[in-house]
Amino acid sequence: MKVLALYLPQFHKVKENDEWWGEGFTEWTTVKSAEKLFDNHEQPRVPLNNNYYDLLDMDTMCWQADLMHKYNIDGMCFYHYYFKKGKKILEKPAENLLRWKQIDMPFCFSWANESWVRTWSRLSSGEGNIWTIKHDKNKDNISDDGVLLEQNYGNVSDWDEHYHYLVKFFRDDRYIKYMGMPVFIIYKPNNIPCLFDMLKRWDYLAQLDGFPGIYTIGTNVNDPKKYGLKGNYIQEPNDTTARFDSMLYSNKDNIMQSLDYQDVWNNLIYKEVPTGTSLGGFVGYDDTPRHGKQGCVIRYRNPYIFYEGMKKLINKANRIQAPFIFINAWNEWGEGMYLEPDEKYGTQFLEAFHQARKDSNRLRFSRDSLKEDDGDSLSVLRKENESLNYLIAKYRGFWKVLDTWMTSMENGESPVDILKKMGYKKIAIYGYGMLGKHLVFQMKEKGMRVDYVIERQKGKETNGIPLFVLDDDLPFVDVIIVSVLYDYANIKNCIKKKLNVEIMSIEELLDKSK
């Protein structure tokens, strides 16, 4: 499971923004012009050391990549802006990254498939901002309905043109893949009437280019297969706030709607979602820099709540075998969603995430373990009891397997003898934990070679045996033995999607030796 941060490429000048909003406009213009609209309103937000960077500067992206790795973020998900007849905007940071091979920044794209309109910013609302005057002078360049850039999906030739632009990124080793497929998010799938046919065409083109297809993920859709998508992603805080309108309430001076940071995280964590769904977390939210008094604020953000929320979200993601968590966001300064350091908290949100990732494995994979501790002693004892029951069930499984294993050896036919008898010569093992290590040792003792080991994440020590993860292209073998004692059906299904090979659990192998 990878954790990616959404990445806004708006922090550099482009001619369109100069025309619409005035010479030199970038997202920083909006951020700097934010106003404090009520008591304790956390505005304006200021980056640490006044680092109002330019994304066209290589040093900036090197700094971001270093920060990402230091705090254990796996990659960036760049917003991709592609419009009618192949019109692109804010594409330069990703295109530069493609050229700057020395920057170790794994990345993928999220297609923000909406038309751009004037109401995106309060600068067009007549509040008297200096940029409004410049914008008003250029109204003749804009359609009567306020559309700045129109979104239109065209026909097959347009789909092919879009794919051929994307594929040069897909071919980059840093582009994030899932089961060998480039990952590509679509923000509003239901806006694309031809989506099913378009994705079918893209899969065909990707296969011609040597990929198994494209791992397309829809944002906040209930039935991804209906659209031809391969996955679903719950973007936050959008999904939770949409489901809980009652959470919205006004500040005491009735300026705008607002929500409580802890409340949003609580409701986010408790939602049940299907296995395999990618999950979303968020750092904060305040879109008043863009929308002024018509905006919305999630109040009282702090690193500790973020730490607790991310710890539980990572645990939940592992429980449902989510391929990804997407954090909103790395640098959405205009909406108050950023992991980058600021003057108020420094690097505390990055540190909170890093610690949450370390600590998440201490939690139980159960719905009850995701609930806040109410401080009641009985509740604490109940949770401790659940944790003990989980460990008992886990070790009971190990005991049964090891007992069967020892019995088979006492009867003169070990699992390794069965592998030899069945004629397997090229063997891989999924899981290099306790059982996997025992199996490898006995295979070596009997002169059999393990071709490679498969793990969920890279970096595990395997005593010189080649290590792969499921995202890799797996070499062909005669059989893959799954040595872990949980989620066998899902593991088998994931391997089958990658490699047409015989797959056997350690328990199935032991049954053959009885």
Exposure string of 171-208, with b = 16+ CB inside 10 Å and e = fewer, is eeebbbbbbbbbbbbbbbbeebeebeebbebbbebbee
Q: What is the DSSP letter of 120?
A: G
Distance spanning both ends of the chain, measured CA to CA: 36
Domain 381-512 has CATH 3.40.50.720: yes
326-344: per-residue pLDDT in tens?
A: 999 999 999 999 999 999 9
Alpha-helical segments (H) within 193-237:
195-208
For residue 274, give both structure tokens: 């299907």
Contacts of 472 (CB under 8 A, 6+ apart): 180
pLDDT at 247 over 60: no
Looking only at the bridges linking them, the beta strands covering 147-149 and 116-117 are antiparallel
Residue whose structure tokens are 């003898």? 417
- pLDDT surpassing 50 at residue 463: yes
Question: Residue 242 and residue 240: Cα distance in Å, rounded?
Answer: 5
Q: What is the pLDDT of residue 405?
A: 86
pLDDT at 241 over 70: yes
Structural tokens at position 45: 């937000």
| Torsion over CA: 70, 75, 81, 85 (sign) | positive
pLDDT band (50, 70, 90) for residue 76 = very high
Mean per-residue pLDDT for 361-366? Answer: 51
The pLDDT value given to residue 412: 83
SS3 at position 343? coil
For the cut 60, the answer to whether the pLDDT of residue 77 exceeds it is yes
CA distances from 379 to 266, 359, 368, 372 (A): 18, 21, 10, 10
Starting at the edge strand found earlier in the chain, the sheet holding 285-286 runs 249-250, 257-260, 296-299, 285-286
* Average pLDDT for 98-118: 94
Is pLDDT at 98 greater than 90 in this prediction?
yes
Give the model confidence (pLDDT) of 271-329 as tens digits.
889 999 999 999 999 999 988 888 889 988 999 999 999 999 999 999 999 999 999 99
At 496, list the tokens: 């089958």
- Tell me the C-alpha distance between 198 and 195, whole Å: 5
**Where in the chain are the domains?**
2-368, 381-512
What pLDDT band is residue 375 in, cutting at 50, 70 and 90? very low
Q: Is 249 exposed, middle or buried (0-12, 13-18, 19+ CB in 10 A)?
A: exposed
pLDDT tens, position by position, 119-172: 555 444 444 333 344 344 455 555 556 789 999 999 999 999 999 999 999 999
In angstroms, the CA 22 to CA 133 distance is: 9
For 363-376, the DSSP string reads S-SSTGGGSPP-S-
Q: Is the pLDDT of residue 270 over 90?
A: no
Q: What is the pLDDT of residue 218?
A: 97
Structural contact between residues 112 and 83, judged by C-beta atoms closer than 8 angstroms: no
Query: How far is 258 from 320, CA to CA, in rounded Å?
Result: 31
pLDDT at residue 403 in the model: 83
Topology classification of domain 2-368: TIM Barrel (3.20.20)
**3-class secondary structure, 198:** helix
Residue 207 has pLDDT above 80, yes or no: yes
- Assess whether pLDDT exceeds 90 at residue 458: no
Average pLDDT over residues 198-213: 97
Please tell me whether the peptide bond between 206 and the residue prior to it is cis, using omega within 30 degrees of 0. no
- With cut-offs at 50, 70 and 90, classify the pLDDT of residue 101: very high
Mean of the pLDDT values across residues 54-65?
A: 98
pLDDT of residue 362: 62
240: nearest Cα among 276, 274, 277, 265? 265
Q: Check residues 316 and 392 and name the one with the higher pLDDT.
A: 316
The percentage of the chain sitting over the pLDDT mark of 70, rounded to a whole number, equals: 84
Token pair listed for 384: 């401790």
Question: Which tens digits make up the pLDDT trace of 252-266?
Answer: 444 567 888 988 998
Helix axes 434-445, 377-410, angle to 10 degrees: 10
3-state secondary structure (DSSP) of residue 277: coil
